[in-house]
């Protein structure tokens, strides 16, 4: 099994504020990955990252 991509940089570009729409830009070993986000997707990602960072994880 190969190593997963390493994340070097990330940012979110806001395209619209109402409704909230943006692009999540991730700079990885294999280059840049862009993912479209709306509010629901961003909130889900926020919960997953908070769970990852919690001491119980």
Q: How far apart are CA 16 and CA 39, in angstroms?
A: 11
| pLDDT at 2 (0 to 100) | 83
Using CB atoms within 10 Å of the CB of residue 37, give its burial: 0 to 12 exposed, 13 to 18 middle, 19+ buried: buried
Chunked mean pLDDT (size 10), the chain, 57 residues = 91 98 97 98 97 88
Q: How far apart are CA 33 and CA 8, in angstroms?
A: 12
Half-sphere exposure of 39 (CA within 13 A, CB side): 5
């Amino acid at each position: 099994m190969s190593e997963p991509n390493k994340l070097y940089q990330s940012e979110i570009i806001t395209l619209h504020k109402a409704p909230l729409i943006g692009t999540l830009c991730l700079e990885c070993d294999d280059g840049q990955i862009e993912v479209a986000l709306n509010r629901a997707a961003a909130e889900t990602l926020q919960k997953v990252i908070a769970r990852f960072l919690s001491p119980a994880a």
